[in-house]
Amino acid sequence: MGAFLDSVPFSGIIRIRDMMYGVDKPFRLDQGDVSFDAPDTVKQALIQAVHDNRSHYVQTTGIPPLVSAVAAKMRSKNGIPIGNDEEVMVTAGGIHGVYVATQGLLEPGDEVIFPDPLWPPAAGCIQAAHAVPVPCPLRESLGWRWDLDELERAVTPKTRAIYINSPNNPAGGVLTRADLEGIAAIAQRHDLWVFSDEAYEDVVFEGEHVSIASFPGMYERTIPIYTFSKSYAMTGLRLAYLAVKDPAVRDRVRKVLFYTVSSVSSLVQYGGLGGVVGDQSVVEQFRTELGARRDLFYDGIRDAARGILTGDKPAGAFYAFLRIADDWTPPKGAADSRSWAMTEMLISRGRVGCIPGVDFGANGENHIRFCFARDRKELEGALESIKAVFRG
Ligand SMILES: Cc1ncc(COP(=O)(O)O)c(C=O)c1O
Tens digits of residue pLDDT in 241-254: 999 999 999 999 99
Q: Of 277, 298, 325, which marks where a domain is finished?
A: 277
Rounded Cα–Cα distance for residues 267 and 376 (Å): 32
Same domain, 243 and 295: no
If you measure from the C-alpha of residue 333 to the centroid of ligand 1, how many angstroms do you get, rounded to a whole number?
34
> 220 and 300, same structural domain?
no
The total of structural domains in the chain comes to 2
Same domain, 298 and 241: no
Say if residue 263 is in the same domain as residue 233.
Answer: yes
- CA-nearest residue for atom 14, ligand 1, is 32
Which residue range(s) make up the domain with 27?
4-31+282-391
Dist. CA 94 → ligand 1 center (Å): 5
CATH number of the domain enclosing 357: 3.90.1150.10
Ligand 1 centroid, distance to 373 Cα (angstroms):
14
The crossing angle, in degrees rounded to 10, of helices 94-105 and 121-128 is 30
Cα(93) to ligand 1 centroid in Å equals 8
**How is the beta sheet containing 88-91 ordered, strand by strand?**
88-91, 240-243, 222-227, 193-197, 159-165, 111-116, 132-137
* CA pseudo-torsion sign 210, 212, 218, 222: negative
Residues 260 and 352 in one domain: no
CA of 37 to the centre of ligand 1 (A): 17
Nearest atom of ligand 1 to the alpha carbon of 168: 1
pLDDT in tens, 121-175: 999 999 999 999 999 999 999 999 999 999 999 999 999 999 999 999 999 999 9
Atom 2 of ligand 1, nearest CA residue: 199
Which among 172, 141, 207 is positioned nearest to 297, based on CA atoms? 172
Mean pLDDT of all residues belonging to the chain? 96
Same domain, 48 and 19: no
Pocket of ligand 1 (CB under 6 A): 32, 93-95, 119, 165, 169, 197, 199, 227, 229, 235, 240
Residue ranges in 240-375 assigned as alpha helix (H) = 247-261, 266-277, 281-304, 338-350
Q: pLDDT class for 13, splitting at 50, 70, 90? A: confident
Q: What is the mean pLDDT of residues 315-321?
A: 98
pLDDT more than 70, % of the chain: 100
* Final residue in a domain of this structure, among 246, 277, 308: 277
Q: 253 and 306 share a domain? A: no
Task: Specify the residue with its C-alpha closest to ligand 1, atom 7.
Answer: 94
**pLDDT of residue 11 exceeding 80:** no
Q: 23: which residues sit within 8 A by CB, 6+ positions away?
A: 347, 351, 353
- Which residue, 223, 251, 277, sits at the end of a domain? 277
The CATH number of whichever domain residue 269 belongs to comes to: 3.40.640.10
Task: Identify the pLDDT of residue 15.
Answer: 85
- Does 335 score more than 90 pLDDT? no
| Residue 165 CA, closest ligand 1 atom number | 1
Distance 200 CA to ligand 1 centre (A): 8
CA distance 50 to 263: 17
